[in-house]
Structure 1
Amino acid sequence: MKSRRNSQRISALSVALVLAGVGMTACGSDEPGADPVDSAVTSTVDEASDETGAGEDGDETGAGEDGEESGVEPRVVSAEEGVAARGRQAQFGAVSDGRVGAEAASADSTMVADECGVYEPTQEDIDAANAESEALAAELDRFGIVYERSTDDFGYVMITYDYEDVVAQSVVDSYWSVRYPAEPIPQEELDAVRANNDVIAAALDDAGVAYTRTTDDSGWESIEYDYEDPAAQAAVDAAWLVIYPPEPPSPEVLAQQDEYNTELMAAFDAAGIQYQLVQDELGWAWVEWDYEDPAIGEQVAAVFDELYPPISVDPIIDCIAVDPLVEEVAVEEVAVEEVAVEEVAVEEVAVDPAEELTIEPAPIDRGFSDEQIAARDAEVAALAAGFEAAGVTAELVGESPWQTVVFDSANEASVAVVASVLAARG
């Protein structure tokens, strides 16, 4: 259930990100009739401004109502073509999060520096965690599960039990499911998913592609189809464009986009790289080049390395964690006498090429022997049957040999069921 739901959310989010992208990365276009080399803009930004975008006073023009950037006349494509082109360009970009230069370096360095700090929990953190640990210990006592209690150097209480004991794990899983029950999905979210699926299903129907619509226990509806079928994927991509139609960039994004493209085109001019400025009907603009040419690819990579150097933290040794509870110990340097190593002649053994080397595939390690798996499965079945007979709500979770039973541990009748399974071990 969860994986399907997340998959569909990620699909929608991916489309939304493509639609909202600034065009911060650049690539070549494989649209029909588009040749980034043949129609490339090879003049410098200043020269192009004089020819195509300069005003009466000869100044360069930025992004205006017609979408021109830095005076370079762009090739204009449709909004749908723009979305597709920007979606294909991710693998050729230099910046993934829209931040460039010092801004990105500063933000990421701060993040790394924060992660290099010393962990010092507050007493409130320790007390809250210990309260949950003690509650878990009380639950294990209630069901007769053996465990060990220990306290670490910070004061955290640790509850340890046999994690391979299927009955103990079922009790623990049930405890946490009651303490933190899964929240129901809001109805408006379920309705929105069904509405989106209606659009996707209609597109798949029009394309003659087979699919299935399923609904899980939470009410979440999913559409499954052959993800490797190009016709099916094209239909789904078109459906998402209907669900989330392309939108024009905001004025702030336009300014950032113009600044980035101008900088990139100037760098390409300086490096002698042929390129083309492309813009869609909504105002999104990006730079394309012949990404099928390895030589140009190396030049572009060099430009990106120059404009957006890799972020590093110096010195990295500062990030080594030091346990404050361990006292520093002076280590005396000891001189090591070099020992001469005598070379040993290795006799070569002739191998008959006619002899075939047979490699037996290694058996899959499931973590348990066949006997252990059989015993675990039997106890899972006994728990499920016992809960059903006692009127305790229960659900099988996972697959053998790691399957457990999550049950209503608040129902007092569940205690006797667990006790009977443990007693059967002898």
Structure 2
Amino acid sequence: MIICAFAVLFLVSYWYTPIYAYIWLLALGFLLLTLADIILLFKENSLEAERVLPEKFSNSDLNSVEIKLKNNYSVKVKVEIIDEIPVQFQKRDFLKTVHIPSHKKMKTSYGLRPVERGEYIFGNLNCYVSSPIQLIKKRYTFNKNQMVKVFPSFIQMKKYDFLAIDNRISQIGLKKIRRIGHTMEFEQIKEYVQGDDIRTINWKATAKHRDIMVNQYQDEKSQPIYSIIDTSRVMKMPFNELKLIDYAINSTLAFSNIALKKKDKVGMLSFSHKIGNYLSANSKMTQLQLILNQLYNVDTKFLDSDFGLLYAHLKRKVTQRSLLMLYTNFEHISSLQRQLPYLKAISKKHVLVVIFFKNTELEKFTEENPENLATIYEQTIATQFKNDKYYMAKELEKHGIQTILTAPKDLSINTINKYLEIKARGIL
């Protein structure tokens, strides 16, 4: 802009010659000022910067990336930061501007929300420094090619874990389930206190101690629980940029953590046209890390799933009666009817919970005001698809199969609710 201004002034001086000498003086002053700015910025490497990445990213959550800066210049500088973010984010307009006083340190950060698991490569951290004169910029480059892995949502897992311990689970939708009957393991005999269930009074112990004594029970523990993830093409559908399989994986991790806290054995299995990852149920706390590592490598296939193969594998490998949380999806009644014989066979030996998804985009479309006749036809068809989902849930329940029909975003909450309900009712 300054050079363009000088060009205009020199053009004007062609007709008004007295200003010609003054324009040259201004140009010389501008040149000296530019040289001073160059000397100030380029005399030494006076900026230090570092990109600090966490050990791993949590899928579908906002992850923080921190940038540490140190100004070794003798003046306050302006720093424009352009970070080369991994290609998966397709973000090409990243720019952060900070002002750092002389010989001071500063931290800044930004957030990234990945929607795919895998390795993410960060490129260069480019910092463009300008002095108070702001005629010249100097580029510094730091942290070339850093890599971070994106794992299933451990942030979501920790959130549910904390809220469960803190007795505030109802604030996020988790329900307290009323316990039915006494299907729990005997723990001890203790003295009656107000609020104890009078049905648990132990009359023999009461006669011996002359005080009212009651039996105390605890939840049945070490029950095998498996999360089974369908990795066929039906799980590739995205909602809010996240595929159904990633919702299922995040839910599996959060649910497995809660089950381990309840002292149950947890395992996992993935399948499509063939059996994928398999981890037998175990109650060790190291099991959660093993599940996390297994889930990291799970991905969708383009073929249809073989429920007959799943039934044969469960019959051979899972011999003890177990709770099976099956994450899949049915869009048509015919697709459910093809798999129903296998689901009924599995439910005879195990407690089977079939988890499939509402099409929230279709439901949103059915609630819009139609603008023309074509839209009315489309909404009628969408409503039919929506009603088919509820019909499929009723059909499964009619055959004694536990069912969860949920919006993708509510999957983890509804899965944990169903698990708590099954434990409280003593179904397993």
Q: TM (normalized to structure 2)?
A: 0.18
Task: Give the structure with the higher percent strand.
Answer: 2
Q: TM (normalized to structure 1)?
A: 0.18
